[in-house]
Structure 1
């Protein structure tokens, strides 16, 4: 098989950076994932990024940089809230095949796409869920149940904390993939983090190979169970954020 050398090298360098063995099989899965995204994007709005190299850098590499947070390698269960085109949940699964991943999204069309992606990439132990984060938690009794909860650029950090922290088991982590304004968002969400049973651990700066992009991982540890009243209904979460 003939590979695009630029995308191949970018992914290889990223895997080296996170301490993961890079293989041709890994690249082939990401390359097929890229093709499926572009194909499906003609029918369902998944991404505004359609250039092959940009997909690799801004979606795939950005997602797998979460492995700079080393405890992720020990995790057995993960839920990706507002997964969209499958980021970062599917890239995490490609890199760490033994983790059970749940992909949650409020738009059923995207879940249909991800079903096709998961099937064609031959990924096992991936659950796809159409639902809203603030409702699905109580419907399926998933409170305090996941080792890792992830969310990437879905909403501001205060809102994300209320949606995500209740899913995390005590001793587990909420990892929010954020842009350059992570520090500012963190300052505005510190009370929410504590109220929801979390404790801020650190921000891990992320560098995307061969680009000027600078992103951040905001790491929050769950130190006590979230009160049953959280998460509230969406209008309350956004209209009266936890101060």
Structure 2
């Protein structure tokens, strides 16, 4: 496991990201607890150590290539699941104030266990739906950055995530290899939800483990009060 930690440190060093021995230990503890809990709870289909380090840890940290996380004070990870990309980003950037949001209570319990075990500070593990929380004071337009690695299409994710983002902040969606169609169909939604601009960065995972895209959306105006619509509506009637 130490070898994988050293490998990760070498991979991210060219990005200007320096991981200490303590941070590598946190990644190892995270992996161990993920695999142990995965035996009784469905958290990930990826359990091989090298695959976890590449497809979960390395993949999560690529977000630091498109956003200056040293200047971002607050991040919300919407539909975080087993904690990706939020927890790896918190390990690498301890100063981030992180909110991990998930709709499944069991997963939120797991996330709190990880936070406690890794002794992470300024992390909130929140059980709830984005459509409801994004209406609440303290959440709405309160974050420098929102991110999601969820499988919903971009126009749906935008309605979940952009209401959390401050004007001038960004939403970064982490996607697989084919995104052009999603970006095109999301243009109207991005305009409605904050006159949002959109850029894309493509990269390859190591060991030929796949192509990824980061969709970076900069929010230029307030999200109208009507959004997000009530729970279930964004996915059933996407903005297009």
Query: Which blocks of at least 5 consecutive residues in structure 2 are unaligned?
Result: none
What's the counterpart of residue 125 of structure 2? 128
Equivalent residue of 1:181, what SS? coil
1:206–1:216 CA contact under 8 A, matched in 2: yes
Partner-residue secondary structure (3-state), 2:191: helix
d(CA) in 2 for partners of 1:209 and 1:19?
A: 18
1:197 equivalent in structure 2: 194
1:208-223 alignment to 2 at 5 Å?
208-223=205-220
Residue in structure 1 matched with residue 236 of structure 2 by the alignment = 239
Cα deviation 1:33-90 (Å, max 9, x = unaligned): 0000001111221101111111111001000110001333210001000000000000
The answer to whether structure 1 residue 182 and structure 2 residue 179 are counterparts is yes
Is 1:61 aligned to residue 61 of structure 2?
no
Q: 2:49 aligns with which of 52, 64, 76?
A: 52
Q: Deviations over 1:155-214 (max 9, x none)?
A: 111100000001100000001011111222111111100010142231111332233421
Worse overlay, 97-106 or 201-210: 201-210
The residue number in structure 2 matching 1:164 is 161
Question: Aligned partners of 2:10, 2:158: CA distance in 1, in Å?
Answer: 32
Q: Is the 8 A contact 1:10 1:209 kept in 2?
A: no
* Runs of 4 or more above 3 Å deviation: none
Equivalent residue number for residue 118 of structure 1: 115
Q: Note the C-alpha offset of 1:4.
A: 3.7
Residue matched to 1:13:
10
The aligned counterpart of 2:88 is 91
Which is worse superposed, 9-18 or 189-198?
Answer: 9-18
CA RMSD, 1 decimal: 1.4
Q: Which of residues 71, 78, 82 is equivalent to 1:81?
A: 78
TM-score by length of 2: 0.95
Calculate the TM-score normalised by the size of structure 1: 0.94
Give CA-to-partner distance per residue, 1:205-241, whole Å, 9 cap, x none.
1332233421011000110000001001233212221
1:215 partner SS: strand
